[in-house]
Amino acid sequence: MGTAHNLEQWDDFVGERYDPNRKTEDFRKFDDSAPAGVREFYRQNHANQTRDFAQEMRRKYGAKTKGEMGIWEACEFLNTLVDESDPDTDLSQIQHLMQTSEAIRRDGHPRWMILTGFLHDLGKALCLYGEPQWAVVGDTFPVGCAWSNKIVFPEFFAANPDAAVPEYQTRLGVYKEGCGLDNVDLSWGHDEYLYQVVKDYLPEEGQYMIRYHSFYPWHREGAYSYLMNEKDRRMLPWVQKFNPYDLYSKSAAPPNVAELKPYYEDLIADFFPGKIAW
């Protein structure tokens, strides 16, 4: 699972790829039955995601110097990820995005939420920039304060250099009680990158869904509530509302990308200019 193009293996495990036989309880099983590749992934992720690293990546990619791309263009760019490892796979990155957004659309949610579902994983373009997988996917968690034992595979944090920084090992670490998640650095990945890219174009609820969709210790496990402010508490239900569409929307037939493209081009044009900075 070490290379960028093995993202597919990851997507398989967390349930981001189409599998009609997958049962709800089979998603995200981080126990002894987890594939060796998943354990290895988290060993690397937890050893390397330091506060310094997260801040450095945010500076680097927050500057958005990767060029200008339209949203649909970005989807096609991301799609090249899968082509290389399995050219005849029946579910591409674009199909994961559309399965998520189509499920949101079927349930009658507002257009901004359909679009948010369609966009939510475009930050995985980080893989195509050459970033290692541990810096792109996986659950996210705050850096600069004690790691919650609600984070998967907490034992792997022993190898993280931040374990030797006493200031980072208290409940609040460098943060203040109730300071708000906007003031908290999370481990670096596709959520924060895409948030930086699209934040000016989506309503706040959509921004939260994108920025925190991998922050399972918070939105699923209830950890780190002491860092939340009023706004975070208001937004949490939206992030939770989004999650099942990301995880469990994979049991319908794969969407017909070509047929749906005009609908999505209209939807994109309602919120975004032709090109945005990445």
Positions touching Fe ion (CB under 5 A) are 16, 121, 246
Residue 247: CB minimum distance to Fe ion, A:
8
Contact yes or no for 238/204 (Cβ under 8 A): no
- Decide whether 8 or 121 has the Cβ nearer to Fe ion: 121
- Decide whether 82 or 145 has the Cβ nearer to Fe ion: 82
Residue 103: CB minimum distance to Fe ion, A:
12
Residue 246: CB minimum distance to Fe ion, A:
4
- Decide whether 44 or 140 has the Cβ nearer to Fe ion: 140
- Decide whether 118 or 175 has the Cβ nearer to Fe ion: 118
Report helix angle 230-247 to 204-212, nearest 10: 60
Q: 69 by DSSP, 3-state: which?
A: strand
Residue 173: CB minimum distance to Fe ion, A:
26
CA angle 85, 97, 105 (to 5 degrees): 155
CA distance 236 to 232: 6
CA distance 103 to 233: 25
- Decide whether 46 or 120 has the Cβ nearer to Fe ion: 120
Residue 190: CB minimum distance to Fe ion, A:
6
Category of 257 on φ-ψ map: left (φ > 0), alpha (ψ -120 to 50) or beta: alpha
**Phi/psi of residue 246, each to 5°?**
-70, -45
